């Protein structure tokens, strides 16, 4: 995957292009952003959380239907305890804030990932946010927390295997559709565009099944510095891609 340079000029406006229905973002580079400033990694996450708020709002404003952000992976538990605590505090702050503002918002909040690992307090905020927002008609915002693409597939396979063992389905009934229907993102379209700031050329276990035909745009900007202009550039780059889905 090539790195899409930040300095590339913006040539067209968003009104001239077809926007993706579903965008995924790997919010990467918080640690490096903090290190560059001689700050603790948690300061990078705090700045990253602010960027997340702005970019989620911007995606909703320009009419994106689904946004999935990678906030905490199944592998992120390997980080030092103080960094994990700081991230959990940021999640809590955001979830409390979104409950407070829920009447003025049209965004539907969903959480994807294994939520059994979270504190009862965080868990109840997650449930409350989903319940409060489920009848809204705006952008669906999936926050991937304790999410891993492989773990998601194992969960789907186990569920299908259990149904087969009970005689509910036959192995040949298992199709790409039934697998999709057993993922956290069941019922949602696959991401068309995945943006990875910070220049890393990896999927990092993000939406492995769903991203089969996603266009990746890797950008050389650290997540806390990411702006709506950067998002526009990614959208314009996406619009130039010739998506063939395996055809010609
Ligand atoms: C990866 O950057 C980022 C994370 C593991 C955390 C992402 C979390 C946020 C943006 C803040 C909170 C989010 C919400 C939903 C309120 P990194 O730490 O791996 O950066 P590095 O590669 O530069 O070290």
DSSP state of 172: G
**Residue 70, ligand 1, Cβ within 6 A:** no
**Residue 31, ligand 1, Cβ within 6 A:** yes
Whether residue 112 is predicted with pLDDT greater than 60 in this model: the reply is yes
**Residue 206, ligand 1, Cβ within 6 A:** no
Record the tokens describing residue 18, joined without a space: 């077809």
Record the tokens describing residue 22, joined without a space: 């579903």
Domain ranges of the chain: 3-240
Q: What pLDDT shows up at residue 103?
A: 75
**Residue 30, ligand 1, Cβ within 6 A:** yes
182-191 pLDDT, tens digit per residue, is 999 999 999 9
- What is the Å distance from ligand 1's center to 170 Cα? 42
Q: Whose CA is nearest to atom 8 of ligand 1?
A: 71
**Average pLDDT value for residue range 241-245:** 76
Q: Whose CA is nearest to atom 18 of ligand 1?
A: 31
Residue 105: pLDDT band by 50, 70, 90 thresholds?
A: confident
Please give the number of the atom of ligand 1 that sits closest to the Cα of 94: 16
Cα 149 to Cα 202: distance, rounded to the nearest angstrom: 13
Whether residue 102 is predicted with pLDDT greater than 80 in this model: the reply is no
- By mean pLDDT, which of 84-88, 96-100, 180-184 is the weakest? 96-100
First to last CA, the chain: 21
**Average pLDDT value for residue range 227-239:** 96
**Residue 111, ligand 1, Cβ within 6 A:** no
Cα 83 to Cα 86: distance, rounded to the nearest angstrom: 5
Cα 82 to Cα 104: distance, rounded to the nearest angstrom: 34
**224 touches 29 (CB < 8 A):** yes
- What is the Å distance from ligand 1's center to 215 Cα? 22
**Average pLDDT value for residue range 72-82:** 96
- What is the Å distance from ligand 1's center to 217 Cα? 18
Q: Minimal CA–CA distance to 122: which of 154, 153, 149, 99?
A: 99
**Average pLDDT value for residue range 14-19:** 90
Whether residue 124 is predicted with pLDDT greater than 60 in this model: the reply is yes
Cα 31 to Cα 27: distance, rounded to the nearest angstrom: 11
Residue 9: pLDDT band by 50, 70, 90 thresholds?
A: low
Q: Please, what CATH class does the domain formed by 3-240 belong to?
A: alpha beta
Record the tokens describing residue 28, joined without a space: 């990467």
132-154 pLDDT, tens digit per residue, is 999 999 999 999 999 999 999 99
The phi, psi pair for 108, rounded to 5°, reads -95, 120
Q: What is the pTM of this model?
A: 0.94
Alpha-helical regions (H) of 20-136: 30-36, 41-61, 81-100, 120-133
The more confident residue out of 5 and 207 is 207
Q: Whose CA is nearest to atom 11 of ligand 1?
A: 49
**Residue 91, ligand 1, Cβ within 6 A:** yes
Sheet holding 3-4, edge to edge: 3-4, 215-219, 193-197, 22-26, 66-73, 140-147, 108-112
Record the tokens describing residue 230, joined without a space: 């950067």
Q: What pLDDT shows up at residue 6?
A: 59
Residue 179: pLDDT band by 50, 70, 90 thresholds?
A: very high
Kindly list the catalytic residues: 28, 76
- What is the Å distance from ligand 1's center to 26 Cα? 8
Q: Whose CA is nearest to atom 22 of ligand 1?
A: 29
3-state secondary structure (DSSP) of residue 175: coil
Record the tokens describing residue 242, joined without a space: 């010739």
Interacting residues of 146 by C-beta distance below 8 A, sequence separation 6+? 72, 73, 74, 76, 77, 113, 114, 115, 117, 118
**Residue 52, ligand 1, Cβ within 6 A:** yes
Q: Whose CA is nearest to atom 3 of ligand 1?
A: 28
Alpha-helical regions (H) of the chain: 30-36, 41-61, 81-100, 120-133, 149-165, 176-181, 228-240
């Amino acid at each position: 995957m090539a790195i899409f340079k930040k300095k590339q000029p913006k040539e067209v406006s968003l009104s001239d292009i077809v926007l993706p229905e579903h965008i995924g973002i790997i919010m990467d580079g918080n640690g490096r952003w903090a290190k560059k400033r001689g700050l603790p990694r948690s300061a990078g996450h705090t700045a990253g959380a602010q960027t997340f708020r702005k970019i989620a709002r911007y995606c909703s404003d320009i009419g994106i239907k689904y946004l999935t952000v990678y906030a905490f992976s199944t592998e992120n538990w390997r980080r030092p305890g103080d960094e994990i605590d700081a991230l959990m505090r940021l999640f809590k702050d955001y979830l409390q804030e979104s409950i407070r503002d829920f009447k003025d918002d049209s965004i539907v909040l969903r959480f994807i990932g294994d939520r059994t690992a979270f504190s009862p307090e965080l868990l109840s905020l997650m449930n409350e946010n989903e319940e409060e927002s489920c009848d809204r008609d705006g952008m669906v915002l999936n926050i991937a927390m304790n999410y891993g693409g492989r773990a998601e597939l194992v969960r789907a396979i186990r569920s299908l295997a259990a149904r087969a063992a009970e005689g509910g389905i036959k192995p040949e009934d298992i199709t790409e559709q039934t697998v999709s229907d057993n993922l956290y993102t069941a019922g949602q379209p696959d991401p068309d565009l995945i943006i990875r700031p910070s220049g890393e050329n990896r999927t990092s276990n993000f939406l492995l099944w769903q991203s089969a035909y996603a266009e990746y745009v890797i950008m050389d900007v650290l997540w806390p510095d990411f702006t709506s202009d950067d998002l526009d550039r990614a959208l314009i780059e996406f619009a130039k891609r010739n998506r063939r889905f395996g055809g010609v």
